[in-house]
Chains A and B, each alone.
Chain A
């Protein structure tokens, strides 16, 4: 349940990074104009994660949801920084 919620947050935050011009500039990626249906994933994935943790165990749901958000943010940020470094070294 925790892992699944983490995966949903990773997807949501990954999309958020891909939609954020500042993040794209940092990684020197071209402007990815994602279709609106994909952009909505930024909000839908976290909500799906919340539904799953509530369905699994409502007592711990909020704590797991908030905790996995923090962890996912760190993972996405580190992966994005590594990606930017790799792309920079290739140029």
Chain B
């Protein structure tokens, strides 16, 4: 083969893209879902009605017993105030993986009896840690760098046809041509989005890859605190002060932050932080006004505003997209979904191009098995999570963990099945079975929602429920169509 810039970039694009792409497919799917994490939590807690009465600040004090209980358990609870995305007051805490939430009526302060769920934040955690903490963060940050390299090489390969092929998609052409067109359509128009998300996302987790100290010191830093905690005696139950009333403090905080600009109230052992809402603008400032947890006197106002910090805040704000309105949020979601299609089609093209020559090799079978596990398998597990949320008994202890276990069990099962089918040279039935199962779970999610949601009605206004059901339905129908075409 002729050795020129395009062939070299083609090699880099294919191999780096395939290896990182399988992981990045999962990252883009979970990232797209995380754009609607708050809304998904509402779908996952169907007992909480779609509409809520207006917020009265007096109800904040009624959440304090729950807050105090969590503080006694050594947690760092926080209260999220109602917003356009979620009209309920919620007490939340991080259990090491997800933010678990307890909803309250924003007018009466009455606690709503909602099921224990990992919520939409499950996808958020999966998006940047894969539920494996620092190791997952490092792996995903490395995949982010690989994505930047893949996009760069892809642009170089495709530079000549960047404009002429921009709108060209031939779904009824030869299979490889059709998949290439899909790959180009899912990538070229979304290049600005992909570069923006890859750069900002990798930047947010840079410390895991490029710490500002040498690698030896950073490994020592990583290892030594663990040793210290192992030696520590078990923490005794702390005495938590009764604490000040929150509504007057909210008034004071809003004099600095602005009316309606308080997003959440974080309770730390030595202070109560009234933090600016992430929805206030593209800069994720996390500006906060702090008060004493004992008598509520003003402690400090924290706002970092140097040019570099503001750039950092802007990059975080752009990546998290919490400031956007509904329309822009949907654009983020669609762009993320197209990113996932880009990785899926790229992986399929990679396999198609090598099937003739290397189709019988074990490594090829393994690669195809991994692809089945990562693409339809991951989507299957995602839908299994939604099904588990509605089918598991609400009284189940540690129910949120049971949902997560269902997700991983489904993923593990589908990956193992995909790998076995592939190793047995039966990859096509493997694809078909997984896609059929995906279609089944996707299409039937709407009936499941109607059957298991209290007060469900066909004639309700567009809500998070309708949007989630329609997305699952579309995914199911797309899978069905793919199964149909695979039979040809």
Contact = CB atoms under 8 A, between A and B. Distances in A.
Contacts, number: 77
B170 A22 contact: no
B338 A74 contact: yes
B167 A70 contact: no
B332 A67 contact: yes
Contacts of A2: 327-328, 331
Contacts of B282: 59-60
A77 B328 contact: no
B248 interface: no
Contacts of A69: 189
B168 A22 contact: yes
A71 to B, nearest CB: 6
Interface residues of A, number: 27
Contacts of A67: 193, 328, 331-332, 334-335
A59 to B, nearest CB: 6
Interface string A47-91: 000000000000110011011111101101110110011000000
A73 B334 contact: no
A85 B172 contact: yes
B324 interface: yes
A44 interface: no
Given A70-B190, A71-B331, A73-B189, A60 B325 contact: yes
Contacts of B170: 26, 81, 84
Contact of A74 (B172, B185, B281): B185
A59 B193 CA distance: 17
A5 to B, nearest CB: 10
Interface of A: 2, 13, 16-17, 20, 22-23, 26, 59-60, 63-64, 66-71, 73-74, 76-78, 80-81, 84-85
Interface in B175-215: 185, 188-190, 192-193
Given A16-B163, A81-B169, 16 more contacts: A13-B166, A13-B167, A16-B167, A20-B167, A23-B167, A26-B170, A60-B325, A63-B328, A67-B193, A67-B332, A70-B338, A73-B185, A74-B185, A74-B338, A77-B168, A81-B170
B198 to A, nearest CB: 15
A70 B282 CA distance: 21
Interface string B128-168: 00000000000000000000000000000000000111111
Contacts of B163: 16, 20
B342 to A, nearest CB: 11
A73 B187 CA distance: 11
Contacts of B335: 67, 70
Contacts of A81: 169-172
A22 B164 contact: yes
B354 to A, nearest CB: 27
Contacts of B324: 60, 63
17 contacts: A13-B166, A16-B166, A22-B164, A23-B168, A60-B328, A63-B331, A64-B327, A64-B328, A67-B193, A67-B332, A67-B335, A69-B189, A70-B193, A70-B334, A74-B189, A77-B166, A80-B167
Nearest to A17: B167
Interface in B313-363: 318, 324-325, 327-328, 331-332, 334-335, 338
A17 B168 CA distance: 9
